[in-house]
């Protein structure tokens, strides 16, 4: 199960932990997470 959606759902939790640990790189991870979220919005019509 390596689907992008499943990975992004798991990724959110992992990114939170990594962001806390990495500190400086946390901003990069938050940026990637926001990009992933906006991509999901386009994929899932509301």
Total tally of structural domains belonging to the chain: 1
Q: Kindly report, residue by residue over 2-19, the tens digit of the pLDDT.
A: 566 666 666 656 656 655
Query: What is the domain range of residue 14?
Result: 4-41
Contacts of 11 (CB under 8 A, 6+ apart): 33, 36
Can you give the pLDDT at residue 35? 73
Can you give the pLDDT at residue 32? 73
Query: DSSP assignment of 2-46, as one string?
Result: --HHHHHHHHHHHHHHHHHHHGGGHHHHHHHHHHHHHHHHHHS--
Can you give the pLDDT at residue 1? 43
**In this structure, is residue 46 part of a structural domain?**
no
Q: Kindly report, residue by residue over 20-43, the tens digit of the pLDDT.
A: 555 656 566 666 777 777 766 666
**In this structure, is residue 37 part of a structural domain?**
yes
**In this structure, is residue 34 part of a structural domain?**
yes
**In this structure, is residue 32 part of a structural domain?**
yes
């Amino acid at each position: 199960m390596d689907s992008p959606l499943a990975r992004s759902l798991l990724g959110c939790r992992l990114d939170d932990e990594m962001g806390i640990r990495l500190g400086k790189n946390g901003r990069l991870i938050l940026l990637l997470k926001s990009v992933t979220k906006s991509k999901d919005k386009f994929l899932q019509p509301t």
